[in-house]
Amino acid sequence: MRRLLLGFFLLFAIPMPAQTIAIRAGNLIDPASGSVARNQIILIRDQKIAEVGPNVAIPAGAQVLDLSSEWLMPGVIDSHTHVTFQLPNMSTPLEENYLEVSKGMRVLQGLKIAQTLLNAGITTIRDVGNEADYASVDVRNAINKGWFVGPTILTSGKIIAAFGGQSSGVPPEAGPVWRFEYIDADGPWEIRKAVRQNIFYGADLIKLVSDNSDYFYSEEEIRAAADEAHKAGRALAVHCYKTEEANNVINGGADSLEHGWHLTDDQLRLMKAKGTFLAGTEFPEAHFVQGGYPDGKAVAAAAIDRLRRAYTIGVKMVFSTDAVTEMPGESRADMTWDYLAGWRQAGVPPAAVLKAMTTNAAELLRIQKERGAISAGLFADIIAMPANPLDDTEALRKVNFVMKNGAVIRNSK
Ligand SMILES: [Zn+2]
């Protein structure tokens, strides 16, 4: 008992000096402006950035990390992931996951993929459903408790959709197996209830699928979801493949439209006017083809064309992947970087891509006062690489330093 008391006394009586880290940053990229500041000092204390500048004094006893030959930027945010979901290919029926993979396995898979992403420099993810029975909520909570190392996760909980979720061909006698990861909600009040259910079980944002069936959500239904989500301080993400229904999504007040590969110029202009983010998930052609997606080549080309048009029109865009299939010899992180080629093909300059990965994403995720920039007061989510991603975003494949919340996750410089 005495020993315990002594330990208690020592633990609380002696103030431990907060671990301070000073990074010598050779080339510090500010994605908001696309500018680079040379030879900066970043001071990190208590998980956050305390000071940044060329003449910051390094306190005695601080741990100094020399990244003076590196290019540094805020950690990447992927605004459309499904870490607890993996299919052999896109032809695999979704139901296989509900019926053959337990929630426990989905949680473990999510943790593994989340850690893979963090190691590659993706320090924050916005997970948009297909998470079994709130598996991503559990992964997020376990990481937030400090049980495991992982990225910052914002997750949507179950996907809200019209009857049937994203399933098809399920016979009535099999029962609503899709409810393992979808909430059936038809009509404004059912949608409001589904939003409340998700928030109760821990959702950080709300995700709707607007048009996966012959029926689709009306503007009134989208507005109900947006209203209910916004009242609770959450953003609304809406999956929308088809063209005619997109107006309902945009006019109904969604914060982001997911996919939208065939949006017209008029719809993109409407999104710009309303400030709707495009989470465009422009799958690389190779992923579509490997995944067995019908008309994969044509859809990939359409997505690149729409990305080009969205950029030209000036829609606010976030970097978003949606990788869920397996690519031989590639990790989920490798697959994430495969999306960079599409942005290049669409003629989007690297500076705009980095902004989509950081500044814009932080705004959509409503975390711009916490993450998405390297400035005083924000959490220290910092990555570094030997080449300049403003010249070529492929430099991101060579990230050799990752810091999240002020902790060094990887330093293989
Ligand atoms: Zn998705």
DSSP string for 218-267:
-HHHHHHHHHHHHHTT--EEEEE-SSTTHHHHHHTT-SEEEE-TT--HHH
Task: Give per-residue burial for 192-224: e unless 16+ CB within 10 Å, then b.
Answer: bbbbbebbeeebbbbbbbbbbeeebbeeebbbb
Q: What is the mean pLDDT of residues 259-272?
A: 97
Ligand 1 midpoint to CA 128 (Å) = 6
Ligand 1 midpoint to CA 144 (Å) = 24
pLDDT of residue 258: 98
Q: What is the mean pLDDT of residues 223-233?
A: 98
Ligand 1 midpoint to CA 279 (Å) = 10
pLDDT of residue 289: 86
3-state DSSP of 278-300: EECCCCCHHHHHHHCCCCHHHHH
3-state DSSP call for residue 65? Answer: strand
Angle, CA 40 vertex, CA 36 and CA 46 arms, to 5°:
115
| pLDDT band per the 50, 70, 90 thresholds, residue 18 | low
Q: What is the mean pLDDT of residues 140-157?
A: 98
Ligand 1 midpoint to CA 69 (Å) = 37
Q: What is the mean pLDDT of residues 349-371?
A: 98
Q: Is the pLDDT of residue 188 over 70?
A: yes
pTM: 0.94
- As beta bridge partners, residue 67 has 25
The residue with greater pLDDT, 294 or 224, is 224
Q: Tokens 């945010």 appear where?
A: 77
| pLDDT band per the 50, 70, 90 thresholds, residue 91 | confident
Ligand 1 midpoint to CA 40 (Å) = 38
6: phi then psi, degrees, rounded to nearest 5: -60, -45
Each residue of 31-41: pLDDT tens digit? 999 999 999 99
pLDDT of residue 98: 84
Q: What is the mean pLDDT of residues 340-367?
A: 98
Q: Tokens 């003076």 appear where?
A: 68
- As beta bridge partners, residue 35 has 30
Ligand 1 midpoint to CA 354 (Å) = 21
Q: What is the mean pLDDT of residues 118-132?
A: 97
Mean pLDDT of the chain: 94
Ligand 1 midpoint to CA 85 (Å) = 10
Ligand 1 midpoint to CA 325 (Å) = 11
Structure token pair of residue 399 = 């990230």
**Closest by CA position to 360, among listed 56, 80, 6, 11:** 80
Q: Which of 8-22, 64-78, 234-248 has the lowest mean pLDDT?
A: 8-22
Are 182 and 160 contacting, i.e. CB atoms less than 8 angstroms apart? yes
Task: Give per-residue burial for 90-125: e unless 16+ CB within 10 Å, then b.
Answer: bebebbebbeebebeebbebbbbbbbbbbbbbbbbb
Q: Is the pLDDT of residue 293 over 50?
A: yes
Can you tell me the distance from the alpha carbon of 364 to that of 385, in angstroms, rounded to the nearest whole number? 26
Q: Is the pLDDT of residue 15 over 50?
A: no
